[in-house]
Structure 1
């Protein structure tokens, strides 16, 4: 029967006979590995040598460094601060003693002479709690890993859409500064991605009508605030070499819960090669 195999217990007592008694009792009832220390300093040294100690049984009355001092030192060190400590004592049964033990980080305490059944039940309870906590942590880590993978896949999916879409994409701040773009926009405008990022939209955008020129962050922004989007308009991009690229352009505002614009999404279709022919007074046709 697996009785907490894989767990490691440190017992600390300055009397070799007490260590033998505890070790024998533990091995009789449990499959845990047992480390032994005959002093507080030796206990501290063992926690440095072994990073996987699960529980410490610590005698209070020891020379040089008693159990309280040892516990305080263990709690100061990162490697050992989270290890539960159960005090063993033959004296100091008062509430004042208990409070002092808990103050230095003890999880529990037992009185000498040890009652075998009570002792095994006590440490078994702690191993059971540790086991449950670790299982919960494993479940949580698994769920976090799954969620992280899902988010990574979703992000990659969206990045692929942005990367391979045929239209130029520019995402602006509320002030009209380019904060994200895609390869189609870079190709259309003749800029590298790092060159476009941080530029103002006015540096690459030229609206068709004179009265609209320079108003990219003006009246149309007020319309975006009211409606969240503007219908497509005919305009021109100004490429890096000065070329005017005719585009069909749409703008959408992303708003916060309080109604402020956080981002502006601009999508432009290259209309080069398309010529508008006036078929009659009340209809138009686009031909390539």
Structure 2
């Protein structure tokens, strides 16, 4: 059974009978697409024009542009620089010439007359390496796709929580300017999101009593609620029409890698009903 269907091999030799021999040998054992070139320039043209060439078998001795020159030209082109090249030669058998082949980008070097089994083994080796790389890339792509889907689902889940939460959410920069809000904040303040993003927190937030100074940066509201000592909440949002909306207000500072505050997350609960209930209890007593 022949292997490597879908692979593409370019063989380059200025002698037609050498091309025929190589083609016949490879086709006997491998189900690959074979492209042929009879010169270095033709090899360059084919490599640039044809997508997906997996391996080049390149004869060193060719007129006008030899195999080393051809390889050098292939390696400086973005589209062809990563195609592995196996050099074939009958003349250059010294170590110096073999080193030159590696220097110009060849991955292997075989001497003529070609040993059929050696050549087939070399081709198979590189095709197997390419197969393995493709398999690993598919696994990596699948993992990336799965992780991307997980992150997208988590992001959507968080956005849903923020969108439908009953408390107003405002994200400020360190200067107190509003950078993002959720729909509840817009509804509570009766502003559009676009209008709020042009404001600072001081435009929509106020504290009334001296003992409550620092409510924006403190925790006194939460403490009073927990102890049951709060009868009225003096911190308020200022709605678009000037209404004061009593709120339970908390904030959390987000710090960057240097320890500086990058954002302030503010959450406000509308306490209108709570105050009304407390008033009713006090009046009844």
Quick check: 1:167 aligned with 2:167?
A: yes
Conserved? CA contact 2:245–2:270, under 8 Å: yes
The answer to whether the 8 Å contact 1:254/1:261 transfers is yes
Aligned residue runs from structure 1 range 16-55, under 5 A: 16-55=16-55
Residues 1-288 of structure 1 mapped to structure 2, 5 A cutoff: 1-210=1-210, 212=212, 215=214, 220=217, 231=222, 234=233, 235-256=235-256, 259-273=259-273, 274-275=275-276, 276-277=278-279
Deviations 1:21-74 (A, max 9, x none): 100110111111111000111111112221011000011111111111111111
Counterpart Cα distance in 2 of 1:62 and 1:91: 11
Distance 1:42 1:257, change over 3 A: closer
Structure 2 counterpart SS, 1:141: helix
TM superposition shift of 1:187? 1.3
Deviation (angstroms), 1:161: 0.5
* Residues in 2 aligned to 1:186 and 1:211: alpha-carbon distance in whole angstroms: 29
C-alpha change, 1:95 and 1:240, in structure 2 (3 Å) is: farther
TM-score by length of 2: 0.87
TM-score by structure 1 length?
0.86
Q: Which shifted more, 199-208 or 119-128? A: 199-208
* Counterpart Cα distance in 2 of 1:100 and 1:160: 63
Contact 2:221 2:248 in 1 (8 A): no
| Cα drift, residue 91 of structure 1 | 2.2
Deviations 1:216-252 (A, max 9, x none): 67xx3xx68xxxx983673111122322211111222
Q: CA deviation at 1:257?
A: 5.8
8 A contact 2:170–2:185 mirrored in 1: yes
| Partner Cα distance (1:41, 1:279) in 2 | 96
Q: 1:15 to 1:195 in 2, by over 3 A?
A: same
Give the Cα separation in 1 of the matches to 2:147 and 2:64. 52
Contact 2:221 2:249 in 1 (8 A): no
| In structure 2, C-alpha distance between the alignment counterparts of 1:191 and 1:105, rounded to whole Å | 65
Q: In 1, distance between residues paired with 2:154 and 2:135?
A: 28
Q: Offset at 1:278? A: 8.4
TM-aligned CA deviation for residue 272 of structure 1: 2.7
Q: Which ranges of structure 1 fall in alignment gaps of 5 or more residues?
A: none
CA contact (8 A) 2:173 2:179 kept: yes
CA distance in 2, matches of 1:105, 1:198: 59
Task: Tell me by how many angstroms 1:256 deviates.
Answer: 4.5
Query: Secondary structure at 1:174's aligned position in 2?
Result: coil
After the TM superposition, which of the residue ranges 271-280 and 111-120 deviates more from structure 2? 271-280
Greater fraction of residues in helix: 2
RMSD: 2.4
Q: Distance in 1 between matches of 2:75 and 2:195?
A: 54
Q: Is the 8 A contact 2:2 2:29 kept in 1?
A: no
Quote the Cα distance in structure 2 between the aligned partners of 1:125 and 1:188.
69
